Amino acid sequence: MSSNQLLHEPDVLSLKDGCPMTSGGRHHMTRGRTRRIADRYELNALPMPGGMGLVWEGYDIVLDRPVAIKQIRVEKARTPAELAVLVGRFRREARVTAQIEHPGVPAVYDAAINQAADSPDKAAELYVVMQLIRGMDLRDILAQQGPLPVEWAVAVAAQICSVLSYAHAVPVVHRDLKPSNIMIDGNGAVKVLDFGVAAAFGTDTAQLTETGRPVGTRDYMAPEQFLGVGVSPRSDLYTLGCVLHEMLAGRKALCGAGDAALRHVHDNPEPLRSLRPDIPVELERLVLDLLEKNPDDRPADAHAVHDRLVPHLPSPGTSTAPPGPPGLADPTLPYRAPLAPKSRPAIRTGPGPARPATPTVLSDAFLREGEEEAVRLFEEGRFTQAAHVLEELLDQADQLDPRLPETRRIHAGVLLAGEDFRRALGAFRHLAAEAKDGSELREYRQHIALCLAALGEHEQALKEYRSLLRDAPDSEAVTLRQKIADLLLALHRAGEAADLLRSLVREFPPEHPAAVRSRELLDRIQFAGGSAD
């Protein structure tokens, strides 16, 4: 199996695979000989197979609690390169999921590597130890029950918004939100699974897999995701619109013949009230807004969607549940004591929080030691810790210290490398405001544009890149034009993007990387029915 195939296998290692449910809600386990990994976790149940591995029900003998243990199948990697892909994905999933501290996301307890002591030549086994979740997934619920009551569907969507607000604050885009990745547990709480295909959001087509195909499920894929020009939090909102439509209508938002992803690029969904007249007009409008083709025409963020769902939720303190499918926990229950989404994080543009009245004059040795420690952590991929070390230096120092601009530059670079785009944006804006050198200012503006695009602020990013292009040296102009074309595609302005891409094809020999990439995007636009001809 090639590394391309490994990347494209569906990520079915959700926790639900480790806890299948009967109609009565009891968990079936096949007991076998207990096996222990990492000298701590016992594997107690025979799991269902997944695309890249297995999910076991296990037990943590140290903390005396049941856990879910996701095993990555390293034997599927036939070459060192494929193994590196698997290990990278293993680490990414564990780290990404661990950063989303929300009750709607299964908690990550450990990332364990188990090496058999009796077989030192045997490849290490990789495990992610997670919170065990029991419940039913939304795909099975819809298949068994059909459309949900309005209050139930709204309650599920509102809980998903709460999860997304936390994930997008990391920042992480789920990329594959769909009914099979949404569970309702026995308390009516919604759990969003399989952030394993998520990645901190970026702006370029490196977010595609090596075959050039986007990551995700075609029946629930935002147009910009299919076009391969990067995803943003608003891509998850589009998919949420697909899920909400399906919960209310009992069928997918865009049904029909042909390629599902192409329908999302071209077709408009049938208004919900034509399928189900009891749906409130405002709720129908929200679903249509979520399913807008242009990301900038969708609601601003998960908080805005949550605000529009609130009027359709049961009031706090309501004692009677709305009627719903028998045998399923009521998802409106959490709104008897509402779960509010995480507050919007502010973008910090200044030097940081208030500092002591008498700032410390840092010695050269102390400052150098701190910067060296941050660089060491950075080189080990421990970006959060590296940023924290630098922030401690900046918080202690006199802000007029002439050595601090270099520390701030390192700090901003660490945030960017760690894909903490929201804080990096504030850091680079602060550097740009104080820059005295023209080349430095230009570099900071490019980073600002990158962060804006990564955060889904496409129009602002486009304006910044076009401003940079006006006086760009030849060495930068091609890259800037490619980024502008990507943003135009993300904004669903395929005609403008095609014109720019054709100009790049004409200017360079066929084998030039800019020409090759431009032709690939033009082919994608043409395949999607855009104006590439």
Reduced to 3 states (helix: H, G, I; strand: E, B; else coil), residue 342 is: coil
List Cα–Cα distances, 328 to 148, 324, 446, in angstroms: 11, 8, 51
Query: What gap in Å lies between CA 78 and CA 61, rounded to an integer?
Result: 34
Query: What gap in Å lies between CA 515 and CA 31, rounded to an integer?
Result: 58
Q: Which of 176, 236, 301, 420 is catalytic?
A: 176
User: What burial letters (b/e) apply to 90-120, b meaning 16+ CB within 10 Å?
Assistant: bebbbebbbbbebbbbbebbbbbebeeeeee
Quick one: residue 493, left, alpha or beta (phi over 0 = left, psi -120 to 50 = alpha)? beta
Contact 220, 168 (CB under 8 A): no
Strands across the sheet with 182-185, in order? Answer: 135-137, 182-185, 190-192
Query: What gap in Å lies between CA 515 and CA 331, rounded to an integer?
Result: 52
Q: Among residues 257, 248, 324, 332, which one has the least CA distance to residue 291?
A: 248
Query: What gap in Å lies between CA 522 and CA 491, rounded to an integer?
Result: 16
Strand ranges in 345-397 using DSSP code E only, listed in sequence order: none
* Tokens, residue 442: 């230009």
By residue count, the chain amounts to 533
Contact 53, 130 (CB under 8 A): no
Residue with tokens 């993300």: 490
DSSP readout, 138-157?
Answer: HHHHHHHH-SPPHHHHHHHH
Annotated active-site residue 278? The verdict is no
Name 393's Cβ contacts closer than 8 Å, sequence gap at least 6. Answer: 362, 367, 370, 371, 407
Q: Which residues are catalytic?
A: 176
